[in-house]
Amino acid sequence: MRHIREVDGDAHTVIMIQVENEVGCPGATRDQVPEAKTAFNAPVPRQLMDYMVKNKENLVPEFRQYWEAAGGKTSGTWADVFGGQPMANEIFMAWYYALYVDKVAKAGKAEYPLPMFINVDLGESIGQYSSGGALPIQLNVWQQGAPGIDIIAPDIYLPNFAEWCARYDRSGNPLWIPETRGDAANAFYAIGNHAAMGISPFGIERQADATTPLAQAYGLLAQAAPQILEAQAKGTIKAVSLNSQHPTETVQLGSYTLAFSMARMRQPAPAPTANGDNAQASSYAIVISTNPDEYVILGSGVQATFNGPGPSPAAVAMLEEGTYVDGRWVPGRRLNGDDIMLDYDAPNKAIKNESGQGFRVAGGPPMALHLQIYRY
């Protein structure tokens, strides 16, 4: 950290530091050296115990439930407080890893106080990840044991991306994803639904060519960054990520409910990658409410109809494609006719107070739309 300060303290090329890498113990759930056994059979440290008692109502639910299932004790050995199950071993390991990493982080910050984070090796069950890492159930343990760490960041390679985002976007922990698959849908979802500070696909240099879907998605996100940041601050932004297992989603934002589904692809879906992924075939969108009857949509492979409260149908007043130049919206072509009709069954749509109108963004490079809605 002293070296970074000396060579980069003015330019600020380095903006954040990862302390260690995927901290944890592979294989067994607990260290078995004599010192570790002695610590495990000693009382849970008061620092952790007092924190749990004081903040009981605000603990991560699964951590609190595990503690209460073991009797909710306020003192005792690790096995007394957390039960004689493997998770007690993991919580024990998490606490002492956190204490160690905190010392490392604070020593570095004493030289140059950049924000510091740890990344987390994820897994669905014991044995599939490294014991003692900052898994969601240990989030509070790490926050209390390592206050010198500013962000606990998940490496998300597992398919249930949205679930992992939600597990780490809580307890005051901002979402930052330092490793993941190169899936544009994931970037849009994390930024749109969880105000992610950033998302860094592993091996991104292999997808950096400007013609790749990921590069095109990052290009659009960069162009729209000022509006995205403003919407994140106001809470007027949401996102959807759709695939064959999750083909539809309904979003309530502004004055309307938008019913998203997958749209036709403008180009063939890419072949599966070496590990079997077909991640880029996903459909995704960020939707921003800019006024009560006005939206910006950024995405690929989605379509949506909309309706609002009350007896009047909602229809398209104006729909235009466009781009961003220096962060400002520049309109392109205006869409109407077949471009805005998603359901031509006007009589039955009218019974439901719907118009059948909406917007469609075919698959391929992501696009930006500006939508205005009216009632009649």
In a domain, 273, yes or no: no
240 and 313 inside one domain: yes
Mean pLDDT, residues 224-253 taken together: 94
pTM reported for the whole predicted model = 0.90
14 and 125 inside one domain: yes
In a domain, 330, yes or no: yes
Give the per-residue SS3 of the chain: CHHHHHHHCCCCCCCCEECCCCCCECCCCCCCCHHHHHHHCCECCHHHHHHHHHCHHHCCHHHHHHHHHCCCCCCCEHHHHHCCCHHHHHHHHHHHHHHHHHHHHHHHHHHCCCCEEEEEECCCCCCCCCECCCCHHHHHHHHHHCCCCCEEEEEECCCCHHHHHHHHCCCCCCCEECEECCCHHHHHHHHHHHCCCEECCCCHHHHCCCCCHHHHHHHHHHHCHHHHHHHHHHCCEEEEEEECCECEEEEEECCEEEEEEECCECCCCCCCCCCCCCHHHCEEEEEEEEECCEEEEEEECEEEEEECCCCCCEEEEEEEEEEEECCEEEEEEEECHHHCECCCCHHHHHHCCCCCEEEEECECCCEEEEEEEEEC
First-to-last alpha carbon distance for the chain, in angstroms, is: 63
Domain end residue (candidates: 147, 180, 213): 180
176 and 51 inside one domain: yes
167 and 261 inside one domain: no
pLDDT of 127 reads 59
21 and 164 inside one domain: yes
* Domain coverage including residue 345: 235-267+280-376
Q: pLDDT tens digits for 89-122?
A: 999 999 999 999 999 999 999 999 999 999 999 9
Between 327 and 183, residue with greater pLDDT: 183
111 and 248 inside one domain: no
Q: pLDDT tens digits for 270-316?
A: 444 443 344 445 799 999 999 999 999 999 999 999 987 778 889 99
In a domain, 217, yes or no: no
94 and 161 inside one domain: yes
Domain end residue (candidates: 165, 180, 195): 180
241 and 173 inside one domain: no
Please state, rounded to an integer, the average pLDDT across all residues of the chain. Answer: 91
In a domain, 191, yes or no: no
Q: How many CB atoms lie within 10 A of CB 338?
A: 9
C-alpha distance from residue 120 to each of 19, 108, 292 (Å): 11, 20, 40
pLDDT of 210 reads 83
Mean pLDDT, residues 245-262 taken together: 93
Residue 262 pairs with which residues in a beta bridge? 302
365 and 250 inside one domain: yes
Which CATH number characterizes residue 288's domain? Answer: 2.60.220.20
In a domain, 272, yes or no: no
What total of structural domains would you count in the chain?
A: 2
130 and 239 inside one domain: no
Band the pLDDT of 151: cuts 50, 70, 90: very high
Domain end residue (candidates: 164, 180, 196): 180
In a domain, 226, yes or no: no
50 and 145 inside one domain: yes
In a domain, 275, yes or no: no
Band the pLDDT of 264: cuts 50, 70, 90: low
Which CATH number characterizes residue 17's domain? Answer: 3.20.20.80
Of 47-61, 138-152, 257-271, 311-325, where does mean pLDDT reach its minimum? 257-271
> Which long-range contacts (C-beta less than 8 Å, at least 24 apart) are formed by 341-345?
342/303, 342/305, 343/305
37 and 156 inside one domain: yes
Give the per-residue SS3 of 229-263: HHHHHHCCEEEEEEECCECEEEEEECCEEEEEEEC
pLDDT of 326 reads 85
In a domain, 164, yes or no: yes
